[in-house]
Structure 1
Amino acid sequence: MYSTLNVDIRPGEGLGIFDIGASLWTILDRLRDLHHMFPQVDVKYDPDTSAITPIIVHVRPHLDLLFSGRSQRLHTISVRRLRDPNPPVMLRYNDTVISSTEEVLRRVVVNRTFGPTYPGDELRYPGLWFSFEDDSIAEGIQGTPAVDREQEVKRVFISQKGNDGKGEDALGEVKECAAMEGDISRAIVKIYDGVVLNFYGSSKSLHVRLGETRAQDLSMELGPPARIHYKEDERMSIHSSKKHGDAADDRGYFYNYFHHGIDFLISDSTHIVKKVILHTNIPGTPLFQRYKRCSWEIEGSPEDDEDDTPPRKRFYERFETISHFLDPHGTPTSMLLDRTDDEDNLTLPSSATRLYGYDGIILEVTESSQVVCVMLF
């Protein structure tokens, strides 16, 4: 027996537990915890440009969640198959049931509940609209001047006010909102130095410096890490210039901030940050959904002393562009990495990535030239 999906509509803000502006990582993590309620979830994306193109999460049979391409924020919620009883869905607005398996949502009910709006084939309100077409997110069929008061609503859409499916913002980025507060808005990577973290809802920033910032500083500024992981994988030490006996003395431990998309490697002797890893959360890669997307920007040197806007390359740019920015003289030799070697039950269309090392920074890159993560050391 299926339980009823009983959700409230919040125009411009969300539907039930789904908040407009919430991150893809947060929503998928929530769906995983509620697997008994949402057993069928599909993620659809463009494998060649998944760092910059929208992502659709189908929560079958009733919900389609559209996430913006660059920030991976919930942009639009679509509710469909309102009469499907497997499981039944109940929509409420201001504690009043407007749609259920027994209560058919019709044009007259919408008009009575939400008031008058501009004429058209869809009933549109700020942050909310109702469609009479089954499977189209676009404009409805143009034409019929006569209005049927008993016309049945087939789809309900919730989005930010202004991002309502009309105009240039239909697939644009989500404006800053309450659901983003406390998240990292951007991480400015400074090679040889560290990373500057900026946050939504705050004018303050956090400068994490390599060789200076302590584990205690991270806990005070970012809160306790989601996990502390002691470094055991020493396979990369074979490429180190240090003597073999020194490698074991320099293992350290990771502070994993999955909800910020960042790892910090900390010395186990000094408890000072010695490496920073920033994750892009690209669908189809082995690390997808382990970390929230961190919107990193690699900062270069100013062109002159008076230049207060140094050049930057961002997470969504192609590897070739970022590589030329880091080293105009050529691309370094890469190493092949397959993160599924230790995962017997994980199969991906393209699991292998390549590691490209530059002075002070390493890029992990997919076959489609998308940068999976950046490591500062």
Structure 2
Amino acid sequence: MSLFSAQLQPGRGLGFLLLGATLHDVLTRLKAEPQLFPQLIVVHSPENPVTEPICIALRKNGIRLRFDGPEQRLRLIEIVDFTMNHITFKDRDLVRPSNGVASSPGSPVPGESPAGPTFRHIYHRLLGPTYGGEFIPSGNGEDQGLYVLSYPGVAFNFPLAASAYSPDKDVVSLLSSPSSQVAQSMAIFSGNSWAEARPTLWTETLPSVKVTSLLPRSKDVYPDEVSLVRLHGGGRIELFRKWTNNAFVINLGETTPQDLVRELGPPSAIYRKNDQRLVIHRLRTASNTRSRPSAGSSGRPDDLTDTDHSSMNTGSEDSDDEAAVEDAGNNAFGECFYNYFYLGFDVLLSTPVTPSPPPPGQTAEESPRGEIKAHSPDRLVVTKLVLHGNVPGSYEFNRHRRCRWEIGYLGDTGDGTPVNSESPFEHIEDRMTEKWGKLMIPKHDESPQQRQRGMVLNRGWGDSPGSSCELLGGWEDSGARRVDASGDSTSTLYGFPGLVFEVLKNGFVNAVTVF
């Protein structure tokens, strides 16, 4: 296996691994080079996969990549074994083996130890002088700790005996002892120093990272990514770009394929499969208003819960073909999904249908929508949006980038936090039931606290849904290679007016369908 060679960029990244890059982008790039990165291990919290940090361990490369849970952005790059990679800074090697002859770890000759960069090499030749660092004791009662030599955007850990540490000593004198001269690890982060960066490491707003810097594609159209989708009800959806004040509004039943391409660029793929396996549930929807109240009269068999027509399959890779986009916009028989894998959602294009009604109490000013615009009968418009959570441990993990969303018409939760993609579904269900009131209660049920019964979804059964509700074939249908073969293929669907939630066993939402 060849060594991973990269240029150190303090405060920015390591080679193509850039701080602020999304988990989906980084994993996709790493998987594209299996010879260089033969082992990828995704470490996450099974109980809180969307709130706790996520780690990618590259054990064959001596690197750890840490992402925050809500946004899934790269926050910290750690080098834990300098012998498994080749890192340079301004054309100087971080570690310089001495012609294959290993010297003692305490050698005073700069760069002579192959185990890691020496203090003298870092301080006198590579990065230069810096302010005094901090000593972090081990915490287990042992006389051993770490001294952090910190620069803007990069820090080095040196093992140091607690008995040898004194805040009165200067940094050069402190690290002149042979036992502390070789760095044990290195961290790349955003901030002036490691001590300053730690409190806001997982929450700091990071600059935009264009997809072009990570994954070159065939077109030169790269709009700013969508960082938040706000759901207003009544078919009105706002897509916000984090580093601007601009928002693109999608009105279900009105927005055209040309509108999407103009604002979002061409999709990554176009999926044309039409799944009819939920047609039986139209009658159930008409009599049970827990799901969309008007689904029974819409004449469409898939309006209830086709939560993910694209996360398992890619029907065709013609998204960058402008002729295909134009054909989809004018051909009624071209009903399809636009797959925006790098934005985290899919868009269903079909003939116009009336979107779900606005929530109770919403005024005309809050929902400035009239009737559906008069399109020609064979004109396709946006009728559905599928937002993907990219939750670690789910069966379709890393098919899409994580898409963050919030339900605008529910307001805050009392502590200033909106109901959003990080909220446990139990809390979302309570707020939705409270908002929609009697519309969420079956006629035969007098208890307003009665929970609705979910519909089981299994993505691993191919075309044999049996008594469950499996909307598309398994991951293997697309020929893609999953990062974690142990992903759970079973989830549960819960329907509300205008929304369907796909909920994992841990109680977090994996996908939301807006119709």
Q: How high is the TM-score relative to the length of structure 2?
A: 0.65
Percent of pairs identical after alignment? 28
- The aligned counterpart of 2:121 is 109
Tell whether the 8 Å contact from 1:206 to 1:221 is kept in structure 2 after alignment: yes
Q: Which is worse superposed, 25-34 or 243-252?
A: 243-252
For the pair 1:334 / 2:334, whether they are aligned, the reply is no
3-state DSSP class of the match of 1:314? Answer: coil
Q: Distance in 2 between matches of 1:206 and 1:169?
A: 34
Structure ID, larger Rg: 2
Cα 1:246/1:40, change in 2 over 3 Å: closer
Tell whether the 8 Å contact from 2:189 to 2:197 is kept in structure 1 after alignment: no
- The aligned counterpart of 1:44 is 43
- The aligned counterpart of 2:509 is 371
Structure 1 residue runs of 4 or more that deviate by more than 6 Å after TM superposition: 243-246, 248-251
1:157 positional shift: 0.7
Cα 1:243/1:234, change in 2 over 3 Å: farther
Tell whether the 8 Å contact from 1:280 to 1:292 is kept in structure 2 after alignment: yes
- The aligned counterpart of 1:291 is 400
Q: Which AA in structure 2 matches 1:238?
A: I
Q: Distance in 1 between matches of 2:186 and 2:163?
A: 21
- The aligned counterpart of 1:160 is 190
1:176 positional shift: 2.6
For the pair 1:265 / 2:348, whether they are aligned, the reply is yes
Cα 1:131/1:301, change in 2 over 3 Å: closer
Q: Distance in 2 between matches of 1:264 and 1:110?
A: 51
Alignment of 1:90-101 (within 5 A): 90-101=86-97
Q: Which is worse superposed, 65-74 or 324-333?
A: 324-333
Cα 1:118/1:59, change in 2 over 3 Å: same
- The aligned counterpart of 1:148 is 176
Q: Distance in 1 between matches of 2:510 and 2:301?
A: 26
- The aligned counterpart of 2:58 is 59
RMSD across aligned C-alpha pairs, in angstroms? 2.7
Cα 1:338/1:9, change in 2 over 3 Å: same
Q: 2:278 aligns with which of 199, 214, 236?
A: 236
3-state DSSP class of the match of 1:313? Answer: coil
Alignment of 1:209-288 (within 5 A): 209-241=251-283, 247=301, 252-267=335-350, 269-288=378-397
Q: Which is worse superposed, 113-122 or 140-149?
A: 140-149
3-state DSSP class of the match of 2:36? Answer: coil
1:352 positional shift: 1.2
Cα 1:243/1:317, change in 2 over 3 Å: closer
Cα 1:45/1:163, change in 2 over 3 Å: farther
For the pair 1:177 / 2:207, whether they are aligned, the reply is yes
1:9 positional shift: 0.7
Q: Distance in 2 between matches of 1:57 and 1:6?
A: 18
Q: Distance in 2 between matches of 1:147 and 1:52?
A: 38
3-state DSSP class of the match of 1:321? Answer: helix
1:194 positional shift: 3.0
Q: Which is worse superposed, 118-127 or 310-319?
A: 310-319
Which deviations, in whole Å up to 9, do the C-alpha atoms of 1:291-342 show, x marking residues without a partner?
A: 1011101111569xxxxxx983110010011111111244322100011112
Q: Which AA in structure 2 matches 1:13?
A: R
Q: 2:148 aligns with which of 114, 122, 135?
A: 122
Q: Distance in 1 between matches of 2:349 and 2:475?
A: 30
1:247 positional shift: 4.2
1:254 positional shift: 0.3
Cα 1:190/1:130, change in 2 over 3 Å: same
Which deviations, in whole Å up to 9, do the C-alpha atoms of 1:90-117 show, x marking residues without a partner?
A: 2111121121444431001111122222
Cα 1:210/1:161, change in 2 over 3 Å: same
- The aligned counterpart of 2:422 is 316
Q: Which is worse superposed, 214-223 or 93-102?
A: 93-102
3-state DSSP class of the match of 1:196? Answer: strand
Structure with the higher strand share, 1 or 2: 1
Tell whether the 8 Å contact from 1:163 to 1:170 is kept in structure 2 after alignment: no
Q: Distance in 2 between matches of 1:266 and 1:213?
A: 9
Q: Distance in 2 between matches of 1:311 and 1:144?
A: 47
Q: Which AA in structure 1 matches 2:120?
A: V
1:178 positional shift: 3.4
Q: Which runs of 5+ in 2 are unaligned?
A: 99-110, 134-146, 166-173, 211-222, 284-295, 303-331, 352-377, 435-447, 463-473, 477-481
1:344 positional shift: 8.6
Q: Which AA in structure 1 matches 2:91?
A: D
Structure with the higher helix share, 1 or 2: 2
Which deviations, in whole Å up to 9, do the C-alpha atoms of 1:271-293 show, x marking residues without a partner?
A: 10111111111001112100101
Q: Which runs of 5+ in 1 are unaligned?
A: 134-139, 304-309
Q: Distance in 2 between matches of 1:376 and 1:100?
A: 56
